[in-house]
Structure 1
């Protein structure tokens, strides 16, 4: 009997699970569109990926895998799957409430005699672990921004800001990001966002799920001199942009 590696086993499970669900959709045995099927499916994929990380950790005695992200993805995947199956309500936006697990992770690594692993990009002008930023005061000055934060909660209201007549670049990155942005209708903007797990909403445009990238640009962005350029990169991201 052929023995499969843990990686092969979990990859096979991903393909089997995805194939079965999509086949049932195509045969009409499950009443949902393909995008609905993917929305239903990805929590189970998250769970399998999380279990794989934990399996690798145990099988290799800590040389491979990651218990923090394995536990995090498994927990989130199970709760989202339970929501899809109707056992209880759990929305993607609630994921950011679990950022305190990062403190547990760092504390346990210290107890085990290991230094916490925190990666910071070399070009960041400001770096931190937990950040809560609210820019809502009248006539606040908009400037270029380049930050990396482990856990970040941003609330930007550009309708109350002084936006200069140029291309202002806002670069935000980290592990977990909860970002809310309000932009005036007469200000053009573009967005490049990436996440391992994400929920991005810009008006009627939305992207959610795993390994999601969002690229968005307003109609007048290329010609505008006064505009905002967002580049956002988080492992887990909840982003909402509204224009008023």
Structure 2
């Protein structure tokens, strides 16, 4: 873990201990410090689980399996400490059915899948495009609209867990260069509207769902569609798009 995260955890522990001790001294709670430490440990497990899960979502390492287990375990212990359910630290073996859930998700989300790499072609150019940084956006839940008049197209790496994307490139300002766009998500719909004379290439993959690119359709499990306009290779003003979804629909139309 990084230093910032350790500092955050230490700060949380100190704040939690201080609050609990104040409440004990005021007689608000009548528990021993030993009991209070049980709550603190359970809370720390919950927070660490969330951190691991969030790091996995945002592509900064982490583990959704370990994160979700620690989160569930910590929450159950906390509920047991406040007498909501009968659960203690020693009841961890009762969570063994989670193995089936993890195996199921591993089968659904795992397996081989195409690896998309979006590159900017700078041959014959001045190399400025190679130095251009991608706009990165990591969200958990939410919809995203790129439909404003004259919105500026720039290199993008977009990540989402649940949510829809709508791109209207007919209203966009598209620079005279190869602009890479990468969109990844777990569940949602992605729609793109291309102008008539724009050159582009699209690599689309969906684990379970539908893909429709200019009338070229496919649906089912582990579906991939690749499309490239006739003048893409020679064009200086073009889009290079990679889309990857676990579940959902991908649709690209042209007007």
Determine which structure has more spread, i.e. the larger CA radius of gyration.
2
Runs of 4+ aligned residues of structure 1 deviating over 3 Å after TM superposition are 64-70
Change (3 A) 1:170 1:138: same
Residue 147, structure 1, aligned to residue 155, structure 2: no
User: In the aligned structure 1, how far is the partner of 2:135 from the partner of 2:99?
Assistant: 30
Out of 86, 91, 99, the residue aligned to residue 63 of structure 1 is: 99
User: In the aligned structure 1, how far is the partner of 2:164 from the partner of 2:247?
Assistant: 12
Aligned to 1:204: 215
Question: Structure 1: any 5+ residue segments left out of the alignment?
Answer: 1-59, 74-122
Q: Is 2:135–2:155's contact at 8 Å kept on the other side of the alignment?
A: no
1:88-127 deviations in Å (ceiling 9; x for gaps): xxxxxxxxxxxxxxxxxxxxxxxxxxxxxxxxxxx98221
User: In the aligned structure 2, how far is the partner of 1:124 from the partner of 1:227?
Assistant: 17
TM-score, with normalisation over the residues of structure 1?
0.51
User: In the aligned structure 2, how far is the partner of 1:161 from the partner of 1:136?
Assistant: 8
Residue 162, structure 1, aligned to residue 186, structure 2: no
Out of 182, 187, 191, the residue aligned to residue 180 of structure 1 is: 191
User: In the aligned structure 1, how far is the partner of 2:188 from the partner of 2:97?
Assistant: 31
- Equivalent positions of 1:1-244 (< 5 A) are 61-66=97-102, 125-244=136-255
Aligned to 2:13: none
Q: Is 2:204–2:250's contact at 8 Å kept on the other side of the alignment?
A: no
1:60-115 deviations in Å (ceiling 9; x for gaps): 73324449859x99xxxxxxxxxxxxxxxxxxxxxxxxxxxxxxxxxxxxxxxxxx
Q: Is 2:178–2:239's contact at 8 Å kept on the other side of the alignment?
A: yes
Aligned residues: 135
TM-score, with normalisation over the residues of structure 2?
0.49
Root-mean-square deviation (Å) = 2.5
Question: Structure 2: any 5+ residue segments left out of the alignment?
Answer: 1-95, 110-133
Change (3 A) 1:154 1:68: farther
